[in-house]
Amino acid sequence: MVKYIFVTGGVLSSVGKGIVTSSVGKMLQFRGFSVTAIKMDPYVNVDAGTMNPYVHGEVFVTEDGGETDLDLGWYERFLDINLSKENNITTGQVYQAVIEKERRGDFLGKCVQIIPHVTDEIKFRIRSAAEKSGADVVLTECGGTVGDIEGLPFLEAIRQMRLEEGYENTLYMHVALVPILDVTSEMKTKPLQHSVNELRRIGIQPDIIVARCAKMINRDVLDKISLFGTIPKEAVFCSYNVSTIYKVPLILEEQGMGDYMCRRLGLTFNYLNIDEMERWKKFVESIENCKHAVRIALVGKYAGLADSYVSMNEALRHAGTACDAQVLIDYIEAEAFEENPKKISDLKYYDGIFIPYGFGPRGSLGKIMAIRFAREHNIPFLGICYGFQLAVVEFARNICGLEGANSTEIDENTQHPVIDLMPEQHWMTYKGATMRLGAHKIVVKEGTLAHKLYGAVEIYERHRHRYEVNPEYIDTFEKHGLVFSGKSPDGRRMEILELPDKFFFFASQFHGEFKSRPGRPDPEYYGFIKSCLDRKQDKEKQEF
């Protein structure tokens, strides 16, 4: 019998529900259970692909090409599983499906309503994702905060699931903020109490409460939460601020949460997956005890919101941990270099320059300036997607002498469209889910840096783009020393570039960060951080 854990949030969004959900999954894996995780997003968008990363954070791309909420990234990283686009359910998808069915005549004669038609569709989607995964336990996180109008059908659907699946197979977990008042340092539970009341009003009584607080909450306050929440004292836990989020499963485990959940769901285990727990603990320890440090300049367009680059941040740090190096990232607005070109020389203080994904003209010149600086000063450089495309533009302008070379995304009328729309994109008018998405095969050229890093001649990496290197210019680039060390199997699409005479100059059309996992860094990120560290140590030796 499949067990379902439903996670709701109270008081505020962004209190770390996604991390708690991932940690719950991790604690179950420590006990040898297989898990999957679903995120329900009550917004009307069909997927996250059309949303501004500056507001909503990055769009996470799944192996099967889903453009999903960034929480799926946390689930994948914590649980080391590949999820499908079906693991992200949105209001847009649900209504689209219900309306399509109505038009087809599936509900002939009926008045189509939120209950049961919309809620049935939500339950159907949860169950089918559960079934496809074959997992023992299915975690379903409901986005937003209890009390949001748009979240109601989702909460109603999970309320019904208890009736249908049974008490012993369902568990409601509520994660809510406990703020600390500045003046008195008091931990205030009132907002949490109200959010529990709101949940009860719709018919859901939580089984577990996770109080999210800056500090560990003392026993009396936890007991108060138990009293007002009408749940046993041992069912209240605290997720407090920790030095690394990968520690959250361990602090919840310490409070007995793993055992409590299993008892409550009748999940019997005769062994703890000690290996996995040990591996996780070691990883956490290695993050905290890095001997070295490297400083990276991330030159981007959404630099003000770290969540815009969350998978990239994590991939850089996974790579750092593997090199025994803490990775310090400075987020630099690319436009700052355009406004004040002299500022570019600040980049010489960094051990590495990283150009992330991006869209549109804003800041593109600043990024090109940063790439040129990296190339000319032989500072390790990694470019991802837009970073790859702009590295091609920079090379075209400054090495191949193609004056005014550009991407047609930036200048439609450029004389040298070195980056251009992929042919199949020309007729594309719809913006939703029409990019080149998800995992595609890449053939890696033997004897190149890419080959060394990946240790394979065939790899699969995740994509999200509309533009590509214009095949008409490939000859020119190669003649001038640019090596395309990864290509699509038909050889038409450029996937990886490198400059062999540089310390580390590497860029990819794909996004390695989506496959990076704690303890198993992605090869391109690893190669980058390793050379940042090597170069830094070389420099230090010379200075010494």
Residues found near ligand GLN in the complex (CB under 6 A): 357-359, 385-386, 409, 464-467
Q: Is 292 a catalytic residue?
A: no
Six-digit token string for 460: 């699969």
Q: Is 377 a catalytic residue?
A: no
User: Which one, 41 or 409, has the nearer CB to ligand GLN?
Assistant: 409
Query: Which 3-state string (H, E, C) describes 150-209?
Result: HHHHHHHHHHHHHHHHCHHHEEEEEEEECCECCCCCCECCHHHHHHHHHHHHCCCCCCEE
Inter-residue contact 98 to 112 (CB < 8 Å): yes
User: Which one, 246 or 467, has the nearer CB to ligand GLN?
Assistant: 467
The Cβ of residue 252 has, within 10 Å, a number of other Cβ atoms equal to: 22
Calpha distance 201→197 (Å, rounded)? 6
User: Which one, 172 or 388, has the nearer CB to ligand GLN?
Assistant: 388
The Cβ of residue 478 has, within 10 Å, a number of other Cβ atoms equal to: 11
User: Which one, 348 or 431, has the nearer CB to ligand GLN?
Assistant: 431
Inter-residue contact 235 to 208 (CB < 8 Å): yes
Q: Please identify which residue in the block is written with the tokens 């070295």.
A: 292
Candidates 253, 461, 511, 532; catalytic one: 511
User: Which one, 379 or 385, has the nearer CB to ligand GLN?
Assistant: 385
Inter-residue contact 525 to 323 (CB < 8 Å): no
Calpha distance 522→518 (Å, rounded)? 10
Q: How far is the CB of 452 from ligand GLN (least distance, A)?
A: 25
User: Which one, 87 or 509, has the nearer CB to ligand GLN?
Assistant: 509
Q: How far is the CB of 431 from ligand GLN (least distance, A)?
A: 11
Strand order in the sheet with 35-41: 88-90, 35-41, 137-142, 3-10, 170-177, 208-213, 236-240
The Cβ of residue 147 has, within 10 Å, a number of other Cβ atoms equal to: 17
Calpha distance 38→243 (Å, rounded)? 26
Q: How far is the CB of 411 from ligand GLN (least distance, A)?
A: 13
Q: How far is the CB of 406 from ligand GLN (least distance, A)?
A: 13
Q: How far is the CB of 438 from ligand GLN (least distance, A)?
A: 13
| Contacts (Cβ under 8 Å, ≥6 apart) of 541 | none
Q: Which of 94, 61, 98 is nearest to 76 (CA)?
A: 61
Calpha distance 206→443 (Å, rounded)? 51
Q: Please identify which residue in the block is written with the tokens 């042919």.
A: 423
Q: How far is CA 227 from CA 40, 177, 202, 223, 233, in A?
A: 29, 17, 20, 6, 8
User: Which one, 162 or 465, has the nearer CB to ligand GLN?
Assistant: 465
Q: Is 498 a catalytic residue?
A: no
Candidates 142, 213, 385, 400; catalytic one: 385
- Catalytically active residues are 385, 511, 513
